[in-house]
A = this chain, B = another copy of it.
Amino acid sequence: MIEPDFDKGAGLLPAVVQDSHSGDVLMLAYMNRDAWLKTLETGLATFWSRSRNALWIKGETSGHLQMVREIMIDCDADAILLKVEQRGGAACHTGYASCFYRRLDRGFVEVVGRKIFDPEDVYRK
């Protein structure tokens, strides 16, 4: 059984999340070994939240879960690629389909992403 080399990232490795249908890169998050094992066990993309210092099942609050369809590992075993089916059509907490919704062009920022939801409707107090 091969697994990513978490020691290389001092316990945390970057995981790229790609939409299995469109091929769009949706987000980048971090996994520790617990998040990795939880992802394998549940089939739901699960990360380690560096801000909350806790396991984070992506979409647990918003309902925008990520069903993992494929897991790839890179040549050095220190980066992970998840191909997922994105529930609700949006990965970003801002409501955009992808967290990478801003393009930089000669120092200017252009918003090119598709806005799917209004965060105020989804993350109610």
Contacts and interface: CB of A to CB of B under 8 A. Distances in A.
Interface in A1-39: 1-2, 14, 16, 18, 22-25, 27-28
Contact of A109 (B2, B25, B100, B104): B2
Nearest to A74: B99
A75 B108 CA distance: 16
B103 A72 contact: yes
Q: How many copies does the complex hold?
A: 2
Contact of A79 (B2, B99, B103): B99
B75 A99 contact: yes
Given A72-B100, A73-B100, A102-B72, A79 B28 contact: yes
B109 A81 contact: no
A76 B102 CA distance: 11
A46 to B, nearest CB: 15
The 8 closest A-B pairs by CB, nearest first: A23-B23, A72-B100, A28-B79, A1-B107, A74-B99, A71-B104, A81-B100, A75-B99
7 contacts: A2-B109, A25-B25, A28-B74, A70-B103, A72-B101, A74-B102, A75-B93
